[in-house]
Every structure is written in C-alpha cells, then in structure tokens.
Amino acid sequence: MALFGRSTQQLGQVDFDNLPRHIAIIMDGNGRWAKRRGLPRTAGHAAGAETFRTIATYCKDIGLEYLTVYAFSTENWKRSAEEVSAIMGLLKKYLLEAIGRMERDRVKMEFFGDLSPLSPELQEMCARTREISKHYEGCQVNICLNYGGRDELVRGAMAFARDCVQGRADPDHLTQEQFGNYLFSRGVPDPDLIIRPSGELRLSNFLLWQSAYAEFYFTDVLWPDFSKEELHRAIAAYQGRDRRFGGV
C-alpha cells in the first residue's frame, strides 16, 4: 500500500493494512541522551516530550487505534525535586497544546494512574482533556501518570473487595474480563506491541496485567532519538511474529 506517496518497501516492510491495534511505549533513555550531550537531564525530558509529540501524531496519521505511553511511574517520585518538577512542567505544556488542538486532531486522551498526588492544576488539565475528548473516536492516547502495574492491580483488588462487601460482586465468580474492568485500562484492548528503547530489557512495572500476550520490541536507540523509521522497524518486527496466544 502506498502511504503519503511512499511504498511499503521504503518504510521498512510495514503492512499499513494490518497494524497492531494497540502500541505501548516505555519512553526510556532521556537522561542518557542528555548526558551524552553534556546537558542536564531535564533537557533530555524536553527532547523526549518532542519525540512523544512526533510519534503520537504519526500514530494518529497512520490510523493506529491505541497508543499508551509511560510518562511517570509510581517510582519516579524518587528523582530529584527539580527533575520531577521539569517532567510535570512538560506534561502541562503538552497537555495545554493538546487541548488547543483537540477540535482539529480529535484524539481521545485518557490517563492511567492515580492522579491525586499531582498538582491541582495538572489534575484539572487531565480532567478537562479527558472530558473534551471522551466522545472522539479513531485514535486514543493513554498517558500513564503516577502509574505502576502493581499499584494498579492492588487498587483493582481493593475496589473488587469493596464491591464484594457491598454485595455488588461475588468473590466466587470473578472472570478475567470482569477484573479487567477494575483497572485503569478498562475498555481498552491489551497492547499488541510493547516498545522499549534505550537498551534496557525489562518491563519496569508497566502494564503487568495487560502485557500477558504482548509482543516486545527492544532497541538501543534512546527515546529522544526514536523516529518514525524506528517505529516502522518495530511494527515490521511485530508483523513478522507468529502470535499463538497459547494455542498451536
């Protein structure tokens, strides 16, 4: 298929008619990217946020249904106050921009994580973004903010237990599908492809429940250098995999 005048061949063998429905990305390597350039870590996050914008826009353009990114984990609070504040500032900047472009882009935005420790201003922006875009269809971007896979599972277990105590749920009859509705990702299909740049080969508490049958793509490229071409390589690798979901 020709896309924007280029052939599939030139785009690293991507079959744009058979894209994964859901791609999730661990945006890693911002700090190392900055260090290699003698810049402060915060400059790496600023470059990483730009890459997020480029990749998210491109995903929408090619018709991807769901993109989920790990922006701030439950463990990231251990970083210096300056670095945490820089990341929060970037989130604010890009959310404001997204709100400004919403009518045009019509990208639905969701947030996975407990937003209550964020500043009231940022919480309000997340709520507004969610509210404005909730009826948009086509592409959904999920930003994981103060997110941790174990935290999500414990919160889900607590909510289920509360429902049991109040007689709204039965502890002897819980299906995987029902439990999925207690998670931040309720209503979103599991990721088909999880990408982790920067050479680290681990999940770091990302989408622990949802990644059960995901395909993984690791690359040494640092997140700020992650390009559309690199995304094509990841999708092409995914398309070459044989997904059996436990069958034969």
Which residues carry out catalysis?
A: 28, 76
Q: Out of 90, 188, 194, 195, name the contact with ligand FPP by CB under 6 A.
A: 90
Looking at beta carbons only, is 100 or 171 nearer to ligand FPP? 100
Site string for ligand FPP, 1-40 (x = CB under 6 A): --------------------------xxxxxx--------
User: For residues 22 and 164, what is the distance between their CA atoms, to the nearest angstrom?
Assistant: 32
Contact at 8 Å (CB) between 217 and 197? no
Looking at beta carbons only, is 111 or 209 nearer to ligand FPP? 111
Count of residues in contact with ligand FPP, rule CB under 6 A: 19
Which span (89-97, 99-107, 184-192, 210-218) binds ligand FPP, by CB under 6 A? 89-97
Could you say which DSSP state residue 11 is in? G
User: For residues 15 and 50, what is the distance between their CA atoms, to the nearest angstrom?
Assistant: 26
**Residue among 36, 54, 62, 115 nearest 235 (CA):** 62
Looking at beta carbons only, is 14 or 23 nearer to ligand FPP? 23
What is the number of other CB atoms lying within 10 angstroms of the CB of residue 67?
A: 22
What is the number of other CB atoms lying within 10 angstroms of the CB of residue 226?
A: 25
Residue 243 identity (one-letter amino acid): R
By CB under 6 A, name the binding residues for ligand FPP: 27-32, 45, 48-49, 52, 69, 71, 76, 87, 90-91, 94, 143, 198
